[in-house]
Structure 1
Amino acid sequence: MITTQTLLDFFKETRAHTETICAPLQTEDYVVQPIVDVSPPKWHLGHTTWFFEEFILKHHKSGYTLFSDDFAFVFNSYYESIGKRVVRTDRGNLSRPTVAQVYAYRNYVTEALVELLEVGINEEITKLLTIGIHHEKQHQELLLTDIKYILGNNPLMPTYDNAFSEGTIESQSQEWITITEGVYEIGYQGTDFCYDNELGRHKVYLHDFQISNKLVTNEEFIAFIEAGGYQETLMWHAEGWDWVQTQKITAPLYWHRINNEWHHYTFKGLQKIDPKAPLSHISYYEAFAFAQWKEMRLPTEFEWEAAQAHFNWGQRWEWTESAYLPYPGYTKAPGALGEYNGKFMVNQKVLRGGSVTTSNNHTRATYRNFFQTGVRWQFTGLRLVK
């Protein structure tokens, strides 16, 4: 059973880490929104704060006064049942509230929650606070990947942080792990925190398959490019082929061909690509096409979960062949929190694992991430199955 002090420490650490992520930014960086998928850093800071204010402080702290009557409109994300909000595409138009005001808002809400925790909390508040902490950890990952997109699409390609590693080479020899045919249990089992989309635990039947102990590398994907993979229509889904043609896609996101050498934008600025490093920033379409080219396939999310104990994971979110759907017996939480996961279970693919931008103490083997098939700004890669 988690103690109030442990939860308090976890909360403080999480709040502080978000601001550590923003420390290398200049004020001008906080407002930029290059595309709809990317939110300005200032908005992340405000939204994660609003979440605690809306779901906990408004209802559970006696005498609590809102920091601003306008902030719910500005920092609500997609909770339709709570009220009106700024359209997502317009988040980058918000020069006000200022960065200083948003940090003041964070301090105000953090201090109020610390006061509430120090008085003592019940089981309901404990559950809400735990969700709020992990919600902020999700936004820490989004914040980092959004910062990379903001800076990586600046023509100067500025450095974010020279100390930030985007992954290490998997030095183990290539092996194919055999998973035997049979019935496997899928989903979270335990008493620690998990999201509702990891429940309920259920059985699936899997046929024999082999899964790679390594992620696909840059070197392997360069071979796909040089073999004309982006020009070969038979490797692609019809929708993926249309995406390639319409968007004029010729390489993963952030890749640049300079003097006949591949470079990519990283948190350290523009760097030569390390051929042995794990591939990143590809769409589901590209992952599927590459697997077709190799005459293999992507794992289903159930195959991935059944096999994950046999390989290292966590450097890249790994595309799977599974649609993001509810597990048997899934029920949404009541009220606005029911909008957290269930409303997105349509037209998305599941990713498994985690990435170099995933916060500590957040992901697990049953964690289900999900994105649309054409997005690439997250640290997405792939692992092959045959």
Structure 2
Amino acid sequence: MKDPSSADLRAPLTGERTRERFLQTRRLSQDLVQGLNEADAAVQSMPDASPAKWHLAHTTWFFETFLLRDHVPDYRLYDNRWPFLFNSYYEAEGARLARPERGLLTRPTLAEVLAYRDHIDAAMLEALPALLERHGDLVELGIQHEQQHQELLLTDIKHLFSRNPLGPAYAAAPDASEQRAVPLRWIEGASGLVEIGAGLGADGDFAFDNELPRHPAWLAPHALANRPVTNAEWIEFIADQGYGTAALWLSDGWDWVRQESVAAPLYWRGGGRQWERFTLAGWREVDLEAPVTHVSFYEADAFATWAGARLPTEHEWEAAARNRDPRDGVQLDRAGCAEPRAEAEIDGFASLHGNVWEWTGSAYRPWPGYRPAAGAVGEYNGKFMSGQFVLRGGSCATPRGHLRASYRNFFHPHQRWQFTGLRLARSL
């Protein structure tokens, strides 16, 4: 067995299985933009977001750069001007278009980007048998990378459409759920010495480098809430002047609330008991039973303080999720309206995976013994381990099959355009 702290991210999959997963992933990305027009796909609503067209091209650039260009003899770039446009943050790959300027790319057109995807897909399929023999880890990383961008694509479209006074719908609303939020109760978590992080088992399960290596951690006695915080509970927080009580907030959070005039989760409007929120199906009445989402770390921490609790550590969260099926829960199965909804419990917990990314109180830092992968792909995670907090569990926009208990997402504490929510914890 390979040392789990090595640069290899997974053992190679069989060729046919990888081929099918590659095609399914590439197809889903294009399915997600089927209803968009040229303008929808090109506009950038804020610097943190990217145009849908850019996501489609960047994920293609990833396969072209790190697999075809680097490992297929005599491969020629599709267009040698495009790496400047579609490199995201890889310093080792040279100069690139500034992130806030991605929305200026009226050219290439959406049709030209789709043609680029077709070209790279054909080249990848032809080269796949040889690539899997020596670079199966990079093939899998490319697939997992595109799955991450599928979620980003949906959340960026949602933010873009929310800025339109017409409130356009990306997709039809799903059928109304009759599931009610389960009553809140506390589940005592594991304490003492536990194992945290991913391990490369005999089946070669994938893990990003920031999940490695597996290592021991000590947990004090604690309990986790059986479900995420709901919209109804968040309305109580608002009604109790939660956004106006300085004692509930971290200093940076209180500054953020006042500077940005924050008084509710992102995409909410209304007041009292009459709230609407913007969804991928347009403006809808707030579902009181569903998990609250689009809240920042600052908001999550303030709510936990107001509730007489705290946010869980990522160690506590992972220990609770370790033996649970990460395919359970509300996750992305196909193009459509991704929104959180109430779920029943499975073995005591509701929505440990899916529905909303759950803020933890843990800073995003490397595990003991962490080593980034060699080369430019080593910039994938490690260089962002500063000033951010970890989220766990996935969301309604995470492609099903992408998650595992050790999965670490991370954002800056003020960011909330992703499907971010929270689960409470308390010390015992």
Normalization by structure 1: what TM-score?
A: 0.96
Q: Are the equivalent residues in 1 in contact too, given 2:361–2:390 (CA < 8 A)? A: yes
Would you say how many aligned residue pairs link Structure 1 and Structure 2?
385
Task: Give the match for residue 99 of structure 2.
Answer: 88
Q: Show structure 1 runs of 5+ residues with no match.
A: none
- The verdict on how the C-alpha distance between 1:180 and 1:352 changes in structure 2, with shifts beyond 3 A counting, is closer
Tell me the CA shift for residue 131 of structure 1.
0.3
Report whether the alignment pairs 1:107 with 2:147: no
Aligned amino acid, residue 6 of structure 1: R
Match for residue 304 of structure 1?
Answer: 317
Where does residue 214 of structure 1 map in the other structure?
227
Aligned to 2:145: 135
Contact 1:167–1:356 (CA under 8 A) maintained in structure 2:
no
Instruction: Pick the aligned partner of 1:334 from 374, 391, 394.
Output: 374
Does residue 158 of structure 2 align to residue 145 of structure 1? no
TM-aligned CA deviation for residue 361 of structure 1: 1.4
Do the aligned partners of 1:288 and 1:297 also contact (CA within 8 Å) in 2?
yes
1:170, CA displacement in angstroms?
5.7
CA distance in 2, matches of 1:227, 1:154: 31
Partner secondary structure for residue 383 of structure 2:
helix
Task: Pick closer, same or farther for the CA change 1:34–1:165 going to 2, 3 Å.
Answer: farther
Task: Decide whether aligned partners of structure 1 residues 163 and 4 sit closer, same or farther in structure 2, where only a CA change above 3 A counts.
Answer: farther
Q: Is the 8 A contact 1:74 1:86 kept in 2?
A: yes
Paired residue for 1:172?
A: 182
Do residues 361 (structure 1) and 401 (structure 2) align? yes
Deviation of the 1:198 alpha carbon:
0.5
* 1:63 Cα deviation after fit: 2.5
**Residue 243 of structure 1 corresponds to which residue in structure 2?**
256
Q: Is 2:348 aligned against 1:348?
A: no
Indicate yes or no: 2:46 matched with 1:46: no
Q: Distance in 2 between matches of 1:14 and 1:166?
A: 28
Question: RMSD over aligned Cα, in angstroms?
Answer: 1.6
Corresponding residue for residue 342 of structure 2: none
Matching residue of 1:97: 108
Name the CA distance, whole Å, in 2 between partners of 1:167 and 1:33: 33
**Greater CA drift, 58-67 or 168-177:** 168-177
Aligned to 1:383: 423
**Structure 2: distance between partners of 1:221 and 1:244:** 16
Identify which of structures 1 and 2 has the higher relative contact order when contacts are C-alpha pairs closer than 8 Å and 6+ apart: 2
In structure 2, relative to structure 1, the CA distance for the partners of 1:375 and 1:167 (3 Å cut) is farther
1:73 alignment partner in structure 2 = 84
1:185 to 178, 192, 195: 195
SS at match of 1:58: helix
Letter in 2 for 1:115: E
Task: Give the aligned partner of residue 70 of structure 2.
Answer: 59
What SS does structure 2 have at the residue aligned with 1:121? Answer: helix
Contact conserved, 1:40 with 1:92, CA < 8 A, in 2? Answer: yes
SS at match of 1:81: helix
Instruction: Tell me the residue number matched to 2:19.
Output: 8
Q: CA deviation at 1:153?
A: 1.3
Return the match for 2:300 from 270, 274, 287: 287
How far the C-alpha of 1:173 sits from its partner, in A, is: 3.2
Q: CA–CA distance in 2 between the matches of 1:286 and 1:294?
A: 12
- My pick for the range that moved more, 167-176 or 360-369, is 167-176
Q: Is the 8 A contact 1:296 1:385 kept in 2?
A: yes
Q: Check the 8 A contact 1:202/1:328 in 2, yes or no.
A: yes
User: Once the two structures are aligned, what percentage of the paired residues are identical?
Assistant: 48
Structure 2: state its 5+ residue gaps. 1-11, 325-347
Please give the alpha-carbon distance, in whole angstroms, between the structure 1 residues aligned to 2:63 and 2:284: 39
1:165 Cα deviation after fit: 7.7
SS of structure 1 residue aligned to 2:106: coil
Residue number among 270, 283, 287 corresponding to 1:274 in the alignment: 287
Q: CA deviation at 1:123?
A: 3.6
1:322 aligns with 2:347: no
What is the identity, as a one-letter code, of the residue corresponding to 2:32?
I
Contact 1:236–1:288 (8 Å) recurs in 2: yes
SS across alignment from 1:292: helix
User: Structure 1 residues 260 and 186 mapped into 2: Cα distance closer, same or farther (>3 Å)?
Assistant: closer
For 2:367 and 2:180, how far apart are their aligned partners in 1? 33
Relative distance call for 1:361 and 1:260 in structure 2 (3 A) is closer
Matched position secondary structure for 1:270:
strand
- Distance in 1 of aligned mates of 2:302 and 2:210: 28
Gap change, CA 1:41 and 1:228, over 3 Å in 2: same
Matched to 1:222, the amino acid is I
Identify if the C-alpha distance between structure 1 residues 265 and 167 changes in structure 2 by more than 3 Å, giving closer, same or farther: farther
Alpha-carbon distance in structure 1 between the residues aligned to 2:406 and 2:395: 15
Alpha-carbon separation, structure 1, partners of 2:355 and 2:175: 10
Q: Can you list the C-alpha shifts for 1:287-316, whole angstroms capped at 9, x where unaligned?
A: 000001011100000011112245232111
Q: Tell me by how many angstroms 1:24 deviates.
A: 1.5
Distance in 2 between residues matched to 1:47 and 1:181, nearest whole Å: 43
Give the C-alpha shift of residue 257 in structure 1.
0.3
- Paired amino acid for 2:29: T
- Return the letter of the residue paired with 1:373: P
Shift of 1:160: 0.4
- Report how far residue 20 of structure 1 moved: 0.5
Whether the 8 Å CA contact 1:352–1:367 is kept in 2: the answer is yes
1:374 matched to 2:414? The reply is yes
1-side partners of 2:272 and 2:89: how far apart?
Answer: 45
| Contact 1:263 1:273 (C-alpha < 8 Å) held by counterparts | yes
Tell whether the 8 Å contact from 1:4 to 1:120 is kept in structure 2 after alignment: no
Q: TM-score, normalised by structure 2?
A: 0.87
d(CA) in 2 for partners of 1:259, 1:233: 21
> Residue 90 of structure 1: CA displacement?
0.3
Q: CA deviation at 1:121?
A: 3.3
Q: Deviations over 1:261-320 (max 9, x none)?
A: 100001111000011111000000000000010111000000111122452321110000
